[in-house]
Amino acid sequence: MKRRVLYLLLVVVTVAGLSWAWWDAQRVPVEVASVRKAPIAEYVDQRAKTRLPHLWRITMPYTGRVERITLKEGDPVSRDQVVARMVQEDIQLELQAAQAAIQRLQAAIAESEDTSVEQTVLDQSREYVVSMDRTVEAARERMRAGKARLEFAQQHFQRVSALFETKAITREQWEQAQLELIQADVNYQQDRLVYQALVALRTATALLPKSVSQYIQRKKLRTQVLRKELAEAQARLEQLRLKDRRSRMTSPCDGVVLRRLVSNRRYLAAGTELLHLGDLRQLEVEAEILTQDAVSVRPGQQVAIYGPAVGPEPVRGTVAQIYPAGFTKVSSLGVEQQRVKVIVQLDDAEREKLLRRGVGVGYRLRVRIFTRRKEQALVVPRSAAFQNPEGRWQVFVVRQGRARLQPIEVGLTNDQQVEVLSGLSLGEQVVLAPESSLRPDQRVVPISLE
């Protein structure tokens, strides 16, 4: 009897052991994490690079020869320091030529304004006109006198001829009267010709004052032309002086040489870049954010700047500017993306951390822009939550040894955590990265990684 009971107990134990082994074999081990309260932040994470808000390009002010540039990349420069210069001999020769042209024009103006000789000639010509008037008047009186003598000689000859016909006088007396008549006629004709010549000469002489006056007026017009030429020459000199000042190119800021594009003396065209200067104390960060993420970014939001160039501790910054216009950029996979630039500003202490690390302009970094934040929220790991085909969020929660499929409502999300608004309670265990083979209500063995 006792042996029968013993056998029966052995059979029961064996069956129970086999049942337990079978039931335990149906349980799937899963990694789990507890629902807990913790701070959570939503952020935009993107690659970025350092930049300067102002990059000063030192360029050729005009076409010419530039001197050798001794500054090199990394050299410090101060405001108004001469960083490059044109060959000075060229501009000095142009300045000397312009100054000589001005002096020549000034001398020509002084000569043109001096009308003392012309004024004397004008006075002399006026006196000469008066003298000619008097000479003509005297010639006219002389002609009148000659005419009177001629008329007297004609009357005398007529009387003598009448007497000679009556034999009252001798032939010699008649011939003497005829000779006097001829001489009086010749003298009158000479006086008449002299008078006519003097009248013509007086007419020409009367034009002398007018000619001299016109010459003086012409000199005044010439003076005006010379003054205009002088103004042009002075403007040319001012341009050359400006060119001379521009020939010594100075730094517009306190900073460093970022890039030297020309080193040796060369003949270059106007506008050719020589140096790039910048102030590293104004270093900032530029990120190209996807436009769908940029709509949640606002000026003043906190930013964490990290990456190998930054070091183990991230640098803090704030969003300073969001560009109003986006642009198209092709990703490394060949996908066209719409992006927009976001500028992150650093305070002096945080910027100094980057500078001490040797970070310069154009260095690659990463930024994490925190768009929303909660100090206390019910959270689960991001790998525990997934979406069903309808787009609803859900998790596998371990209840009574089984994996229960639980719909949840999520709030803030990031790459590590998800905020749970409803569907879970504090302390419950959720399955991390559930396998596709895991079925709802399947027995599981929870393995906590906490």
pLDDT band at 395 (very low <50, low <70, confident <90, very high): very high
Q: Answer with the one of 339, 373, 407 that is the final residue of a domain.
A: 373
Q: Answer with the one of 262, 277, 292 that is the final residue of a domain.
A: 277
The residue ranking higher by pLDDT, 432 or 12, is: 432
How many residues are present in the chain? 450
Q: Who's near 46: CB < 8 A, 6+ residues apart?
A: 287, 288, 289, 290, 293, 366, 367, 369
- Say what the pTM is: 0.64
- Work out how many domains the chain is built from and give that number: 4
Residue 291 lies in a domain: yes
Let me know whether 102 and 164 are in one domain: yes
| CB contact at 8 A, 306 and 368 | yes
| CB contact at 8 A, 27 and 208 | no
Let me know whether 135 and 235 are in one domain: yes
The CATH code of the domain that includes 224 is 1.10.287
Let me know whether 300 and 369 are in one domain: yes
How far apart CA 82 and CA 353 sit, in angstroms, is 31
Phi and psi dihedrals of 71, rounded to 5?
-65, 150
Q: Which domain holds residue 324?
A: 45-53+283-373
Let me know whether 333 and 422 are in one domain: no
Q: Collapse the DSSP code of 60 into the 3-class scheme (helix H, G, I; strand E, B; otherwise coil) and give the result.
A: coil
Let me know whether 108 and 60 are in one domain: no
Q: End-to-end alpha-carbon separation of the chain, Å? A: 55
The CATH code of the domain that includes 361 is 2.40.30.170
In tens, the pLDDT along 27-86 reads 789 899 999 999 999 999 999 999 999 999 999 998 999 999 999 998 999 999 999 999
Q: What is the DSSP letter of 31?
A: E
Q: Collapse the DSSP code of 126 into the 3-class scheme (helix H, G, I; strand E, B; otherwise coil) and give the result.
A: helix
| CB contact at 8 A, 411 and 419 | yes
pLDDT band at 385 (very low <50, low <70, confident <90, very high): very high
Residue 3 lies in a domain: no
Let me know whether 361 and 270 are in one domain: no
Let me know whether 288 and 171 are in one domain: no
In tens, the pLDDT along 403-429 reads 999 999 999 988 899 999 998 999 899
Nearest CA to 364 out of 286, 429, 433, 276 is that of 286
Residue 443 lies in a domain: yes
The CATH code of the domain that includes 384 is 2.40.420.20
Average pLDDT over residues 389-402: 91
Let me know whether 134 and 229 are in one domain: yes
Q: Who's near 180: CB < 8 A, 6+ residues apart?
A: 153, 156, 157
Residue 164 lies in a domain: yes
Residue 10 lies in a domain: no
Let me know whether 343 and 263 are in one domain: no
Nearest CA to 373 out of 289, 291, 300, 302 is that of 302
Nearest CA to 208 out of 113, 133, 110, 138 is that of 133
The CATH code of the domain that includes 272 is 2.40.50.100
Residue 353 lies in a domain: yes
Let me know whether 240 and 308 are in one domain: no
How far apart CA 69 and CA 59 sit, in angstroms, is 12
Let me know whether 368 and 287 are in one domain: yes
In tens, the pLDDT along 243-252 reads 888 889 999 9
Q: Answer with the one of 373, 405, 424 that is the final residue of a domain.
A: 373
Residue 439 lies in a domain: yes
* Identity of the residue numbered 93: L
How far apart CA 442 and CA 384 sit, in angstroms, is 17
